[in-house]
Amino acid sequence: MKKRQTQARVPRCKKCGAPAVIYMRQHRLALCETHFQEWFVNYTQRTIEKYHMFGPEDRVLVAVSGGKDSLALWDVLTQLGYRADGLYIGLGIDEGTQYSQRSLEAVRGFMAERPGLRLYVVDMKEAYGETIPELARRVRRGRGKPCSVCGLSKRHIMNELALREGFDVLVTGHNLDDEAAVLFQNTLRWQTGYLARQSPVLEATHPGLVRKAKPFCRFYEREVAAYAIVRGIEYQYDECPFSVGATTIYYKELLNQLERHSPGSKFQFYTQFLKAKKKGLITFHEPEGEVVLRPCRICGQPTTAGEICAFCRMWVRPDMDLEEAKRSVPSLTFRVETSESEEG
């Protein structure tokens, strides 16, 4: 009797009729634990194909942070049989919180249960002599928060490592909530340049740029978290201490208020934007003359910032000549960790 009460209102799995663990209003779809996992993996594959992200022969580099999105993504791509290696960047955000340390532990814990995975580890302190907070303090960028230094460093390192190690595509765990929040923010300001570029795939428009893709861009953040939970992935629950009060979180909350009262609105907002753009119904032009990409004279990565890219500039003083500048920028170093393969 008690059991019946407990389950009375729980929707049934569309596939097998068992009690559902999740109901996705925007798809009008209820699924049990088993069928939700199956659906999630298949839907990722459909997204990869829909946006022509990559194929079975491509070498894929997954940017892993230890959070739910990136670990779930690595898990799914591995299940789908893709050749996917991980890249973890040790930011050194540990003062008081051990945030980075615990993130790496989450990644290692994940790998320990999945034999045969390969992880590239770039440690900021080892490779560049400074952690992200130290680097940010020295270059005094970003009003006391290291987020802008962190973002540009991660982008630079991911791109350089992917190209150097011969990967065809770099993938990130961005979900629909991430993408919709960015879209919302850019639409409110009619940032036409950003709106023109926002896409599930960013082509390598320059020889110094790696192709990028976001295979989770059609999942709600809630679904990715649900997947991580049902798969037993022990991800890093804690937020980066610097993300407190981040504007992205604010926009996500706003969109979730909309979603609560009008289910599916988040999904429509993002996917209809992509559809309309693809059909040419809305077009945005990059502001004229603004985006001239030229290779950085030190690292070769394309930059809009002039002769030397924003990353290299963190080590270069205006009085240096080019040779001296080249010597001042530390070069990328990394180590590779592997999880024991089944036979070994």
Q: Give the binding site for another protein (CB under 8 A).
A: 2, 5-11, 19-23, 33, 67-69, 177-178, 220-222, 224-226, 229-230, 232, 237, 239-240, 243-244, 246, 248-249, 252-253, 256-257, 259-260
Are 181 and 255 a contacting pair, CB within 8 Å?
Answer: yes
The residue (of 307 and 337) whose beta carbon lies closer to Zn ion is: 307
Residue 340 interacts with, from Zn ion, another protein, none (CB under 5-8 Å by kind): none
Q: Which of 102, 103, 63 minimizes the C-alpha distance to 86?
A: 63
Distance CA 102, CA 307 (A): 38
Residue 63 interacts with, from Zn ion, another protein, none (CB under 5-8 Å by kind): none
Binding track, positions 32-71, relative to Zn ion; x by CB under 5 A: x--x------------------------------------
Q: Which of residues 274-303 bind Zn ion (CB under 5 A)?
A: 296, 298-299
**Sole window of 11-19, 94-102, 104-112, 163-171 interacting with Zn ion (rule: CB under 5 A):** 11-19
Task: Give the count of beta carbons closer than 10 Å to the beta carbon of residue 255.
Answer: 20
Q: Hey, what amino acid is at 325?
A: A
The residue (of 35 and 218) whose beta carbon lies closer to Zn ion is: 35
Distance CA 296, CA 286 (A): 21
Residue 201 interacts with, from another protein, Zn ion, none (CB under 5-8 Å by kind): none
Task: Give the count of beta carbons closer than 10 Å to the beta carbon of residue 209.
Answer: 17
Binding track, positions 298-317, relative to Zn ion; x by CB under 5 A: xx---------x--x-----
- Three-state secondary structure call for residue 135: helix
Give the side-chain half-sphere CA count within 13 A for 335: 7
- Three-state secondary structure call for residue 312: helix
Q: Work out how close the CB of 307 gets to another protein at its nearest, in angstroms, rounded to a whole number.
A: 30
The residue (of 82 and 110) whose beta carbon lies closer to another protein is: 110
Among 16, 282, 293, 322, binds Zn ion (CB under 5 A): 16
Q: Work out how close the CB of 37 gets to Zn ion at its nearest, in angstroms, rounded to a whole number.
A: 10
Q: Work out how close the CB of 32 gets to another protein at its nearest, in angstroms, rounded to a whole number.
A: 10
Alpha helix (H) ranges present in the chain? 2-7, 33-50, 68-79, 99-112, 124-128, 132-139, 147-164, 176-188, 192-197, 221-230, 247-261, 265-278, 322-328
Q: Work out how close the CB of 201 gets to another protein at its nearest, in angstroms, rounded to a whole number.
A: 20
59-63 vs 83-90, strand pairing mode: parallel
The residue (of 6 and 101) whose beta carbon lies closer to another protein is: 6
Contacts of 256 (CB under 8 A, 6+ apart): 177, 266
The residue (of 48 and 329) whose beta carbon lies closer to Zn ion is: 329
Q: Hey, what amino acid is at 88?
A: Y
Residue 1 interacts with, from another protein, Zn ion, none (CB under 5-8 Å by kind): none
The residues of the shown chain that bind Zn ion, judged by CB under 5 A, are 13, 15-16, 18, 32, 35, 296, 298-299, 309, 312
